[in-house]
Structure 1
């Protein structure tokens, strides 16, 4: 069994730097999605505008990281897989490629917004577990 050191802050939300840093991370994530050809497949499943996605991810991450529960206050339990399932109805499914693009985009956004290295590593593990669980299509 590997024992991890206790994080230097009570919550990942405090560790990342609060709302301003979460907002910067979300903004960079979606900016990269729009700018980088490497994330084209991921961008394609988000529809014509990213405004709603930006706001909802910000709300979600604040609570998920241990900060204000904006998302659950508005919508209840996130039910991530169920909320993303409608994308498959229109032919936009989440497979390995979309998962990997999401993870790469978030990894780049965390690096570019200065998420502390140890927190970055912990979040990357959690993001992978969640993103892999979100897949609703086998294969690439």
Structure 2
């Protein structure tokens, strides 16, 4: 399928659902990250992250319609995002990205964004 839309090019909604599911499977058992998710059930966090990533990559605008501007730094401000937390987040996200088995260019594009975003959110030593 030829398209200029990254979201569509990598498979749309099912691809992003898989990414989020695999990522949160790791987070659910991570001693560093799990405490940052106050809800007993990770489903609300999964839904928010899914909506954000889909919108960012050219999918539905559901995130902005329901939550407003992403304001990533502000939304992560209440949490101590340390270099260790960033590294754990990247560990689980790497597993999730790898599970998609994307063509190399798409994989590199997605990973570059996720890696930069994780580094930008560190707010504590």
Q: Do Structure 1 and Structure 2 share a fold, with TM-score over 0.5?
A: yes
Larger Rg: 1
CA shift, 1:40, in A, is 2.6
Q: Who is 2:26 aligned against?
A: 32
The number of equivalent residue pairs is 123
Distance in 2, matches of 1:135 and 1:45, equals 13
**Which residue among 21, 38, 42 is the counterpart of 2:33?**
42
Greater relative contact order structure (CA < 8 Å, 6+ sep): 2
1:135 maps onto 2:122 in alignment: yes
CA shift, 1:43, in A, is 2.1
Deviating beyond 4 angstroms after TM superposition, the runs of 4 or more aligned structure 1 residues are none
1:78 maps onto 2:78 in alignment: no
CA shift, 1:74, in A, is 0.7
Q: Is the 8 A contact 1:28 1:113 kept in 2?
A: no
Distance in 2, matches of 1:12 and 1:106, equals 18
**Which residue among 12, 19, 24 is the counterpart of 2:13?**
19
CA shift, 1:113, in A, is 2.7
Q: Who is 1:65 aligned against?
A: 57
Please give the secondary structure, in 1, of the residue aligned with 2:41.
Answer: coil
Q: Is the 8 A contact 2:19 2:96 kept in 1?
A: yes
Output the TM-score relative to the length of structure 2.
Answer: 0.89
CA shift, 1:49, in A, is 2.4
Q: Is the 8 A contact 1:29 1:106 kept in 2?
A: yes
Unmatched 5+ stretches in structure 1: 1-7, 88-92
CA shift, 1:24, in A, is 1.3
Output the TM-score relative to the length of structure 1.
Answer: 0.80
CA shift, 1:9, in A, is 3.3
CA shift, 1:129, in A, is 1.3
What's the CA shift string for 1:107-138, capped at 9, x where partnerless?
11111132332211111111121111111102
Unmatched 5+ stretches in structure 2: none
